[in-house]
């Protein structure tokens, strides 16, 4: 089996396994600190990947993403301050349990559900991605142009409240991806006379600015959050309040299976992400449940939210590995690491980098086992440690780390300038309600989309009419157009309902 070869690659030397475990621990700490999300931590760690071998770099980034998805539930349960956006669903039932002194039960249920959902999603990734990639590898440049079009439209229209702002964010990312010398003609574009820009904008300072520095600016200006003091409610002395009983686990098991399926399905759809999956699964579990404890500490709610949350982790990689389209911001940054190390992003990666891909899958399984053990026995200790860290100390540290990380890659002061500029750009985009994930994904995929379009135009003299001869391409174009039509229609219905409610 291929996964056995993956474990052989992972444990072939000490480095990949070490960085897989290190990434898991870093992700646990990062997710547990409110404001320091997995995406932020990954952006800060990107410069480190330049100095690692490909498998160690991929394992580090992937495991940070997976473990931080679970760890975001820890501050949500303990302080009602979710460490990640998707953990807000977990906090709705977790924090009431903490107020009852049952935080031990809540956190153990969270890690059990997270590990189960993550494991099932990882199995689908291991045994299904290569199968789908075999079909995707048969597509040519016209089909890939259609896939990119579909992905950009879906991501732009689904993420955020405004379709227009999502499309503008995507277009801005594509425009900035075109900076530098043309890959075919060598013609210089948008370089403004700076030799630095001839190779295009460097990925690391852009990501650090848009994702991390803009977040620091936004958080520092929030005086209420900066003055927040976190205190943990006293824990119950009853042993059954500190653990998940067998009857509780058995009652939650069907909920976790159903929520894992929901999270896996949503995770495979580019642009939707873990936050939507968590609330959909939570809502579905609440709909079918007969319990009267919802909102007061229903453990099924924690199981549903966490199983679906982590089930998106492995599923997010399926569109990236089969079509070259990242399903989330973290998947897009993982694709960036692949590009940094000269790997193909798309179905051919299973042929060209077979051992690295299955080594990455093995690192994912190792990560699940590690955060299950550490989270089950150490979540309470981690929560108490986080409570001791003043919020006002976190963001100055991140601010300084951003400049160190930006400079470390190429020892160029200009990289720090670019990062600062994009920090301000990202902050402005946040204030305007534009979509940062759509911008990042478009920026990372822009080079591939342009190359596919240029190759398509060189295939035939018929120009854009070549797409009419490609049924698969037409299907993807139709999906993209249908998505935006449905999204605009849903927005109009929502606006009509709101106006009707106001009139009443």
Q: What is the pLDDT of residue 19?
A: 92
Q: Mean pLDDT across the stretch 356-372?
A: 90
Q: What is the pLDDT of residue 378?
A: 79
Distance, in Å, from the CA atom of 190 to the CA atom of 176, rounded to the nearest integer, reads: 9
Q: What is the pLDDT of residue 134?
A: 67
Categorize the per-residue pLDDT at 86 as very low, low, confident or very high, splitting at 50, 70 and 90: confident
Query: Which token pair is 178?
Result: 């075109």
Tell me: the pLDDT tens digits for 378-407?
777 777 777 666 666 777 777 887 888 788
Burial 143-170 (b: 16+ CB within 10 A, else e): bbbbbbbbbbbbbbbbbbebbebbbbbb
Least confidently predicted of 122-126, 236-240, 336-340: 236-240
Q: In the predicted model, is pLDDT for residue 501 greater than 60?
A: no
Q: What is the pLDDT of residue 482?
A: 82
Helix (H, G, I), strand (E, B) or coil at 348: coil
Categorize the per-residue pLDDT at 233 as very low, low, confident or very high, splitting at 50, 70 and 90: low
Parallel/antiparallel/unpaired status of strands 188-189 and 180-181: antiparallel
Distance, in Å, from the CA atom of 63 to the CA atom of 19, rounded to the nearest integer, reads: 9
Most confident range (mean pLDDT) of 30-44, 148-162, 330-344 is: 330-344
Q: In the predicted model, is pLDDT for residue 111 greater than 60?
A: yes
Other Cβ atoms within 10 Å of 181 Cβ, number = 15
Q: Mean pLDDT across the stretch 109-128?
A: 87
Q: What is the pLDDT of residue 22?
A: 92
Q: Mean pLDDT across the stretch 485-497?
A: 71
Q: In the predicted model, is pLDDT for residue 224 greater than 70?
A: no
Q: In the predicted model, is pLDDT for residue 227 greater than 60?
A: no
Q: Mean pLDDT across the stretch 169-177?
A: 86
Q: In the predicted model, is pLDDT for residue 183 greater than 70?
A: no
Query: Which token pair is 459?
Result: 């295939």
Q: Mean pLDDT across the stretch 50-62?
A: 89
Tell me: the pLDDT tens digits for 413-426?
888 888 898 889 98
Q: Phi and psi (nearest 5°) for 183?
A: -70, -20
Q: What is the pLDDT of residue 38?
A: 74
Per the model's pLDDT, the better-predicted residue between 58 and 501 turns out to be 58
Q: In the predicted model, is pLDDT for residue 18 greater than 90?
A: yes
Q: In the predicted model, is pLDDT for residue 463 greater than 70?
A: no
Q: In the predicted model, is pLDDT for residue 428 greater than 70?
A: yes
Per the model's pLDDT, the better-predicted residue between 220 and 257 turns out to be 257
- Inter-CA distances, 260 with 54, 56, 310, Å: 30, 28, 8
Q: What is the pLDDT of residue 321?
A: 81
Q: Mean pLDDT across the stretch 419-445?
A: 85
Q: pLDDT above 90 covers what percent of the chain?
A: 4
Q: Mean pLDDT across the stretch 313-330?
A: 78
Categorize the per-residue pLDDT at 149 as very low, low, confident or very high, splitting at 50, 70 and 90: confident
Categorize the per-residue pLDDT at 281 as very low, low, confident or very high, splitting at 50, 70 and 90: confident
Mean pLDDT of the chain: 79
Most confident range (mean pLDDT) of 102-116, 441-455, 479-493 is: 102-116
- Inter-CA distances, 234 with 25, 81, 90, 92, 201, Å: 26, 17, 20, 19, 51
Nearest in space to 306 (alpha carbons), one of 36, 25, 82, 101: 82
């Amino acid at each position: 089996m291929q996964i056995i070869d993956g474990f052989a690659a992972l444990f072939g030397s000490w480095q990949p396994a070490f960085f897989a475990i290190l990434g898991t621990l870093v992700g646990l700490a990062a997710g547990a600190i409110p404001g320091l999300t997995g995406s932020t931590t990954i952006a800060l760690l990107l410069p480190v990947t330049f100095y690692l071998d490909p498998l160690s770099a991929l394992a580090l980034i992937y495991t940070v993403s997976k473990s931080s998805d679970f760890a975001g539930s820890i501050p949500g349960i303990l302080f009602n301050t979710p460490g990640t956006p998707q953990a807000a669903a977990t906090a709705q039932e977790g924090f009431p349990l903490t107020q009852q002194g049952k935080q031990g039960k809540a956190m153990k249920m969270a890690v059990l559900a997270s590990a189960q959902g993550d494991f099932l999603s990882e199995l689908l990734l291991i045994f299904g991605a290569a199968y789908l990639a075999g079909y995707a590898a048969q597509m040519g440049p016209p089909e890939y142009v259609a896939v990119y079009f579909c992905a950009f439209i879906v991501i732009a229209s689904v993420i955020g409240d405004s379709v227009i702002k999502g499309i503008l964010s995507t277009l801005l990312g594509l425009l900035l991806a075109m900076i530098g010398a043309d890959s075919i003609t060598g013609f210089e574009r948008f370089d403004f006379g700076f030799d630095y820009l001839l190779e295009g904008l460097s990925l690391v300072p852009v990501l650090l600015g848009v994702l991390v520095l803009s977040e620091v600016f936004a958080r520092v200006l929030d005086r209420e959050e900066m003055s927040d003091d976190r205190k943990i409610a006293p824990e119950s002395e009853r042993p059954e309040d500190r653990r998940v009983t067998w009857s509780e686990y058995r009652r939650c098991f069907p909920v976790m299976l159903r929520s894992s399926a929901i999270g896996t399905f949503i995770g495979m759809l580019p642009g939707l992400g873990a936050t939507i999956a968590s609330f959909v699964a939570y809502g579905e579990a609440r709909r079918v449940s007969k319990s009267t404890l919802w909102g007061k500490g229903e453990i099924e709610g924690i199981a549903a939210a966490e199983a679906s949350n982590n089930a998106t982790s492995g599923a997010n990689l399926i569109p990236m590995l089969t079509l070259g389209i990242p399903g989330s911001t973290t998947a897009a940054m993982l694709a960036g690491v692949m590009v940094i190390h000269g790997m193909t992003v798309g179905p051919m990666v299973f042929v060209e980098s077979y051992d690295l891909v299955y080594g990455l899958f093995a690192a994912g399984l190792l990560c699940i086992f590690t955060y299950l053990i550490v989270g089950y026995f150490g979540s309470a200790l981690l929560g108490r440690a986080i409570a001791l860290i003043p919020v006002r100390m976190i963001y100055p540290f991140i601010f300084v780390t951003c400049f160190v990380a930006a400079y470390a890659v190429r020892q160029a002061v200009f990289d720090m300038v670019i990062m600062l500029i994009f920090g301000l750009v990202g902050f402005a985009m946040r204030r305007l309600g534009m979509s940062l994930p759509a911008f990042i994904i478009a920026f990372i995929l822009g080079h591939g989309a342009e190359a596919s379009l240029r190759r398509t135009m060189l295939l035939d003299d018929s120009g854009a009419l070549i797409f009419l001869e490609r049924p698969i391409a037409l299907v993807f174009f139709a999906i993209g157009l249908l998505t935006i039509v449905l999204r605009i229609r849903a927005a109009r219905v929502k606006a009509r309902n709101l106006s009707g409610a106001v009139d009443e």
